[in-house]
Amino acid sequence: MYNNDYTIMPKEEIQKILQEIGLPSAEISVYISLLDGLDSVKDIIKTTGEKRPTVYYSLNSLEKRGLVSKTGKEYGNKFQVEPLDKLLELVNKNIRKQNELLEKTKRLKDFYPKNKLNNKVLVSYFDNLESIKSAIFYSLYGKTKTIRTIVPANNFFHDMGKDFVEEYVKEKVKRKIGTKALWEDIPNKKAIENFYLNSQIKQLPVAMHNSFETTIFIYDDKTLYVAPKKENHAVLIQSKEHAKMMTSIFENLWSNAMEIEK
């Protein structure tokens, strides 16, 4: 795709930007087809491969967002992209919402001082994709600089794909956090070089292979259990005693785990 100065922006990069803004995949396909100059539903369906109801739903949603408008007669409408300033307005609106949420969260923190929560057991449940991702990223904001993880072969990270893993690892490296990881399936050398250079990795004992699918994170006084994507939930337990027990179990498994060659 070209801009007015005839420089090229890869379509994959455009898709990623729109995804980060919060547009669903179908809306992204339709929106990009409009940016490329298409204006009829027939052409959009042919180019994107999306079904007619999906295209109409996406166009309606894009119109509500202020990114697209109708042109032409009542029947046989065509569509056009609104100026890209509208996209900037959408981003700024999201930023304002996040800032408002930040302020509300700060007030909540002031309402529940830290000493009120000391020595209490807290259990948090997450039942949608975005909240699960947030719970995983929250592990990077702990006090300890090493996160213990138990990772089965079929795990949440595989379901989330490369982009999510890269974002998580980038933030982990930025915060100088290492991992002590017990894996069922050992990543290949290239993956280790890309994602796990600051990690200690061993393979789970054979007796545990194919016996569970929940990924476990242990850090500070917290233990996070992330079920596979098909179950779509996670549970965070904040308890010094529970974390102490899980750390003990982890270290015993670690002492019996298999070394790997990096």
**Does 133 score more than 70 pLDDT?**
yes
Q: Rounded distance, CA 61 to CA 4, Å?
A: 27
Q: Please give the C-alpha separations between residue 252 and each of 26, 185, 197, 255, in angstroms, as whole numbers.
A: 47, 19, 23, 5
Considering Cα of 198, then 200, then 206, then 212, what sign does the dihedral take? negative
Residue 2: predicted pLDDT: 46
Q: Which amino acid is at 176?
A: K
Q: Rounded distance, CA 202 to CA 204, Å?
A: 7
Residue 238: predicted pLDDT: 92
**Does 199 score more than 60 pLDDT?**
yes
**Does 4 score more than 60 pLDDT?**
no
pTM above 0.85, yes or no: no
Cα-Cα-Cα-Cα torsion 116, 119, 121, 124, nearest 10 degrees, comes to 50
**Does 252 score more than 90 pLDDT?**
yes
| DSSP assignment string, 17-80 | HHHHHT--HHHHHHHHHHHTT--SHHHHHHHH---HHHHHHHHHHHHHTTSEEEES-SSS-EEE
**Does 211 score more than 50 pLDDT?**
yes
Stretch 174-186: mean pLDDT: 85
Residue 76: predicted pLDDT: 56
Stretch 72-82: mean pLDDT: 73
Q: Over the Cα atoms of the chain, what is R_g?
A: 23
3-class DSSP assignment, residue 3: coil
Query: Which domains are present in the chain?
Result: 11-88 (1.10.10.10), 122-259 (3.30.870.10)
Residue 116: predicted pLDDT: 54
Q: Please give the C-alpha separations between residue 159 and each of 91, 165, 173, 232, in angstroms, as whole numbers.
A: 27, 10, 22, 11
pLDDT digits (tens, 9 = 90+) for 15-55: 888 988 888 899 999 999 999 989 888 999 999 999 999 99
Q: Which helix (H) or strand (E) holds 164?
A: helix 162-174
Q: Rounded distance, CA 94 to CA 73, Å?
A: 33
Q: Where are the beta strands (DSSP E) in 37-184?
A: 68-71, 78-81, 122-126, 146-151, 178-183
